[in-house]
Amino acid sequence: MALAPRPCPACASRTTPAGCELPEMMFGLGERFDYLTCADCASLFIREVPDDLAAYYSAPYYSLEVDPEVVLGRPGVKQLVALLGRSTLFGSGRVSRTARVVPVRQLRTLVTLLESVRLAGLPGGRDTRVLDVGCGAGALVFALGLAGMRSVTGVDPFLAADRTLSTGAPVLRRTVDDLDGSFDLVMLHHSLEHVPDPGATLEAVARRLSPDGRVLVRMPTVSSAAYERYGHDWIQLDPPRHLTLFSRAGMETLARSTGFAVEAVADDSSSFQFWGSEQVRRGTSLMAPDSHFVNPSGSAFTRALLRAWDREADELNRAGRGDQAAWVLRPVAAG
């Protein structure tokens, strides 16, 4: 086995088998990138981090382009988001369970996000100090504010500028290293896989976490049925933006090495793992005009097939075989 040019970001091992070359398939840029699979923990990571990562977020990257005030602040929608948030975070969750069967991708995604926050816990109730790292334009920050959360901050280094949402929540063009203060819940929703040094990021998070705080990490995992089925066509590879695709063992190792223990894990994959990967196999990028993501009304996939994939995703989640999950981390006292 050859020596990797840098250690595995998950477990720090340097011994890897031969790598692979993966195409960029969000925008169909035509570029290919070298990745390596760790021989010890099976995590997948990019061989060399691009010098200018920002260039791969300058195209219409969905989480940065969607203005939460416009999308979630419309009459009717705003009230629904507030109701969903209150029900999921502070109530019985019955409203969110009902919303799960609504065939609107964005609504179901919001429910998944809110349920992961409930899993992590809000020790201070509506006054829990929450930080969303890699928040994009701030959709979840805005939704939590509508639900009644009074202290929510979002940071993302790829934002154009700082902004204060109408809920009063700041959304800042920063990294977690640039912040002061302490937080009771730090969230990384599909952002840890985007950073060049995930260990350093979790260490920075630990320095800003209250003693009884929790960290919520949501991201894709190669320890999944979808990766086994689709291999290099798996949609969540997303080179070069996804710098590290963690295995479940790799995530546990990284947590331990940065002073955390895994308190809970909940799979929350969706049919995206199937229709997105099928598109990659056909050579269709995610943002192509004929993509199911862009034009669901003109989808190449029947409603029956999409419903079948929804059911399969639910089954895989229950079995711990989904292609993405939420990890709740608690700090472990030194000594």
Residue 9 lies in a domain: no
Identify whether 303 is part of a domain.
Answer: yes
Residue 58 within any structural domain of the chain: no
Q: Residue 10 domain-assigned?
A: no
Cβ proximity of 143 and 107 under 8 Å: no
Beta bridge partners of 217: 188, 327
**Structural domain of 123:** 66-331
Burial class for 310, CB neighbours closer than 10 Å (0-12, 13-18, 19+): middle
Total number of domains constituting the chain: 1
Specify the pLDDT at position 213.
Answer: 97
All residues at 6 or more sequence positions from 331 whose CB lies less than 8 Å from its CB, including other chains: 206, 209, 211, 213, 259, 260
pLDDT at 1 (0 to 100) = 47
pLDDT in the model for residue 78: 92
Residue 269 lies in a domain: yes
The pTM score is 0.92
What is the residue-level pLDDT of the chain in tens, covering all 335 positions? 455 568 999 999 988 766 999 999 999 999 999 999 999 999 999 999 999 888 888 655 555 567 889 888 888 889 989 999 999 999 876 655 555 544 456 778 888 999 999 999 999 999 999 999 999 999 999 999 999 999 999 999 888 899 999 999 999 999 999 998 999 999 999 999 999 999 999 999 999 999 999 999 999 999 999 999 999 999 999 999 999 999 999 999 999 999 999 999 999 999 999 999 999 999 999 999 999 999 999 999 999 999 999 999 999 999 999 999 999 999 997 54
Residue 40 lies in a domain: no
In a domain, 254, yes or no: yes
Q: Is residue 39 part of a domain?
A: no
CATH number at residue 307: 3.40.50.150
